[in-house]
Amino acid sequence: MSTLFSYIFFPGFVFTALLGIIASGIDRKVTARIQWRQGPPLLQPLYDFIKLLGKETLVPAGASRLTFLITPVFGLAAVSIVSTILWGALINPKESFVGDFIVVLYLLAIPSLSIIIGGFASRNRIASLGASREMKFILSYELPFIMVLLIPVIQTGNIRLGDIVTAQMSSGLSVGTVSGFIALLAGILCIQAKLGLVPFDASEAEQEIVAGPFIEYSGTPLAIFKLTKWMMLVTLPLFLVVMYMPSSNPVHIAIRYIIILVLTILIRNTNPRLRIDQVMRFFWTKVAFVSLIAVILALLKL
Amino acid sequence: MSTKLRALLKSPFVFHLATSPCNNCDIEILDALTPRYDLERFGIQLVGSIRHADVLLVTGVPNHKNAKILKELYDQASKPCLVVAIGTCACGRGMFKNSYNSPGTIDSIIPVNAYIPGCPPKPEAIIMGVVKLIKSIEDTLKKK
C-alpha cells in the first residue's frame, strides 16, 4: 500500500507532475525575460493542461488506433517510476535496490521510444520524419550519456543509487573532482538533447516540420505528452543532482536543481537549432571524446 | 461545455491560415505575436498544427482552390475551436465581391466567431478584437 502511495502520490507521479508544471512555468518566464517580455503567468502550463484535457481527441484516418492512443501513457508511466526511484534515493538512500541505476537508464529511454512509436502510428509523413529524427537523436546522445553517468559509479564503486548518494555524502561530492566536473558539463548537454530543447530540437522543430511526431495528436494524448515532457524537466536534472552532487538538505537539492534548470534554459535561449547531421557529429565526436577523457580521468582517480 | 470554454480562454493556441490574401493581414498578425506586444502574457501561442489549435485566424478571400482546404482544416480541428476573420477581405470580401474566382465569404464556408475589419487591421485592432471575443464568450458563460 505504501509502495503504491509512493509511486502515485508522493514522491511519484502527482508530486513530480506539480513540480514539472512549475519548472515549465519557470522555463517560459525566464525565456520571456531574456526576450525582454513579461511572459505568461507561472501556472500557465497548468491552464494549458486543463484546456487540452477538455478538447476533443481525434484519431487520423488509417492510423493504428490503439498504438496511437496508448503510447503517451507508457512514456508517462516510465517517467513516474524514474522520479519515484530518484526521489527515493535522495530521501531514503538505504531503501534503494541493487541495480536501480541501470533500471533508471533503461526507463529514461522509454519516453523517447513512446514519441517515436506514436509518431509512426499516426500515419502522417511529417510525423514519420520527426520520429526518424528522434531515433537518430537516441543513437547520438545515448552513448555519451551512459559514459558520463559511469563516472560516479567508477568513483564510488557502486551500482546502487542509494550507495552512490551515501558514499558521496561521506567522502566528497563527485562534482568536486576534475572528472566529475567535466562529466557534469557533458551531462547537461546530453539532457538538453534528451529533453528536446533548442539547439537539439530538430525532431519537433515547429518551423520546419510543425511539431514533428506530435502533429496529429490532440486533446488528452497531447496533454499526456506535454505532462511527460514537463516531468522530464524535473527528472533529468534531478538525475544529475543525484549522481554528481547529492545532499540530504532539501534546500541544497532545490538550489542545485535550479542551477541545472536555469543553465539548460540559458543554453536553449542563446543557441540556434542544429541540423540532425550536425547533432550526430557533435555528440559522436566532441561530447563522446570529452566523456571518454572524463572516464579515463575517473579511472586514474582524479 | 462551459468549463471547457473557460479553460480555453486562459490558453488559446492560435493557428494562422491564409486563404489567398495580399499578405498584409498576415504580416500584421505576425506583428501582433512579436515580443513587443507579448501575447504570451494571456497564454496565446502560435502553433504549427491545426490539431493543437483552439483559435483559427483566417485572412483573405477564399478562392475555388482553397475554399475546400479551409473547410477541411476546420473539420480537422479538435473542437471547441473559435474562428476569427481578420481583414476586410475575410470579413466580407471587400473589393473582390464580384470576382469570378471567389465562391463566397469565409462565413459562408465555416462559422465565424469574430470579425476584425481593416485593410490591414493594426496589431492593436487585432488584440482588441480578440479581447472583445473573449469578453463576449465570458458574458454568454455568465448568463448560463
> Shortest Cα distance from A209 to chain B (angstroms)?
8
Domain residue extents for chain B: 2-143
Mean pLDDT of A218-242: 90
Got the DSSP string for A134-149? HHHHHHHHHHHHHHHH
Q: ipTM of the assembly?
A: 0.84
Delimit the domains of chain A by residue range. Answer: 2-299
pLDDT value of position B43: 83
Q: How does pLDDT run across A121-161, given as a tens digit for each residue?
A: 888 888 888 888 889 888 899 889 999 988 888 888 888 88
Give the model's pLDDT for residue A255.
92
**Given this model, what pLDDT does residue B1 score?**
54
Residues of chain B whose C-beta is under 8 A from some C-beta in A? Answer: 3-4, 7-8, 10-11, 35, 38, 40-43, 47-49, 51-52, 54, 76, 78-80
Choose the mutation target among B49, B56, B75, B79 for the interface with A, i.e. most A CBs under 10 Å.
Answer: B49
Which run of H or of E encompasses B82? strand B82-86
- Given pLDDT bands bounded at 50, 70 and 90, which one contains residue B107? confident
User: Which residues pair with residue A94 across a beta bridge?
Assistant: none
CATH topology of domain B2-143: Rossmann fold (3.40.50)
Tens digits of residue pLDDT in B72-102: 888 888 878 889 998 888 888 888 888 888 8
Among chain A residues, CA nearest to B41: A40
Taking the CA atoms of B63, B67, B69 and B73 in sequence, report the sign of the dihedral they define: positive
Helix (H) / strand (E) containing A5 = helix A2-8
Mean pLDDT, all residues of chain A: 87
Helices A13-34 and A219-244 meet at what angle, rounded to 10? Answer: 90
Residue B18 per-residue DSSP state: E
* Span A15-67, pLDDT tens digits: 888 989 999 999 999 989 988 888 888 888 988 888 888 888 888 888 888 88
Chain A residue whose CA is closest to B6 = A51
User: Does B43 contact A56 at a Cβ distance shorter than 8 Å?
Assistant: no
Residue A189's contacts (CB-CB under 8 Å, 6 or more residues apart) are A144, A267, A287
What pTM was estimated for this model as a whole? 0.89
